A and B are shown apart, each in its own frame.
Chain A
């Protein structure tokens, strides 16, 4: 041992080459060591969810900066880096991702793009939402401006994905999720889009609620055009469903006695409430015009055209709005068609016959009340009667043979009288008309079948 101490006093000259060797080793190895440690630190953090991760190595000291999504995650990430072999010190610059209060997420759609904004709770949900947006919007540019934050409500992903589905149904608009309250605004892409969104929102996860739904839909448009030249009634636009569709076409068939109904209607969701109750009387008003257009846009009804005579124009202007359900508006731009040239009584008779060959005045069953569907036909009769002001006209009521003859006689008289009253209310002088009831004494056809009976129940105008 003493020898070792003695010899060691002469070991110093070797220190010179040792220092040189150390210098070379330090010079060549530092960068390699640093790169190796950086690679292995990153590998150790491969499965840890972090935001803004940054690893710097200085010698064997690792500076580790990152935003973690929970305190546990942060501590375990630091521990994994500390456990990397060769790491001497870890400068811990990690922190928690900031907490958003309230937690807001939004998806905004304009003409060309969808912008995802606000906060997402994790990088995985951020990318999932961006991917889902790209997939469901096919071709529309998706701009991801989401930041990461803690404090998302539970089942955020499910709710956000559902809302993202709805953004596809909008032409433009914004959906905002604030904690668990949903705000929607914008314009639906299609008719019924608003209803489809409202229906889908019922599937929001429990705890989520809708604070405001201001989605508007394109106007729900129904149009009818009465063309006197082609003798057609063209129906275009939308109806709520097939039942209403059938009912409207049937009503049009009854009201427009001589026109062919061209049906171009399509069924769609999104009709304003009371649609059928407003459109049927509006069609009735249109049937009284010589030519005209009916435009129903949401709850606004616009009727324009030419009435056949003054009183009719007044009735159409004032009468229709009263029948409408609440909240509906009615605008009439009804002018009066120039009066046709007067004609001889014989021509008048021909014109009456022509009108009656196309349609009949209808009454409530067993009563003398004229049904509203006959207004168009009556207007046409009144217009014709005005063209021969000097003719006196016998208004003849006829019934079929069902029931007692006396009752039929009385009914035919009352119906003839009802028609005369209608004509007088339209402004024609009462002394030009003679109501006569014939009961079932002058049948046109046999009373054996329903068809024949229907032909026999009638009103005739006979010019005297």
Chain B
């Protein structure tokens, strides 16, 4: 994993920035939210993929692509969380002033 991170830091940084942007937008976005049930299913799917990755059951290139996707997805989520949290902090600071 560390090797992948050093090797592809550009792509990973891209994923994180993409997440940061999405997180930033998500706070004030009016898009339709994913339902709770769907969230649970998606979380289960993600957990299953992570388990498959750690168990190394997916062979060859597909295994590599799975790992790559999971790292990019994880960084995307981290970026989202930071973006959302920062946006929320900015929004809540500006509210009393307005």
Contact = CB atoms under 8 A, between A and B. Distances in A.
A25 B64 contact: no
A33 B65 CA distance: 11
B17 to A, nearest CB: 10
Interface string A6-35: 111111111101100110111001100100
B88 A59 contact: no
A12 B34 contact: yes
A13 B19 CA distance: 10
A323 interface: no
Nearest to B88: A3
Contacts of B14: 21
A36 B64 CA distance: 14
Q: Mostly helix, strand, loop or mixed at chain A's interface?
A: helix
Contact of B22 (A14, A29, A30, A60): A14
Interface residues of B, number: 41
B85 A4 contact: yes
Given A59-B63, A86-B3, A13 B22 contact: yes
Contacts, number: 109
Contact of B80 (A8, A22, A36, A86): A8
Interface string B36-77: 000100000000000000001001111111011100110011
Nearest to B63: A59
B23 to A, nearest CB: 7
A20 to B, nearest CB: 10
A60 B4 CA distance: 10
B35 to A, nearest CB: 8
A88 interface: yes
Contacts of A15: 76
Given A9-B34, A10-B29, A59 B61 contact: yes
B39 A60 contact: no
B14, B60, B80: most-surrounded residue (chain A CB, <10 A): B60
Interface residues of A, number: 31
A188 to B, nearest CB: 62
Nearest to A17: B18
9 A-B pairs with least C-beta separation: A14-B22, A59-B64, A9-B33, A58-B60, A86-B3, A59-B61, A10-B26, A7-B84, A25-B11
Interface of B: 2-4, 7-8, 11, 14-15, 18-19, 21-23, 26-27, 29, 31, 33-35, 39, 56, 59-65, 67-69, 72-73, 76-77, 80-81, 84-85, 88
9 contacts: A8-B84, A21-B11, A22-B15, A22-B72, A30-B64, A33-B64, A59-B59, A61-B63, A88-B63
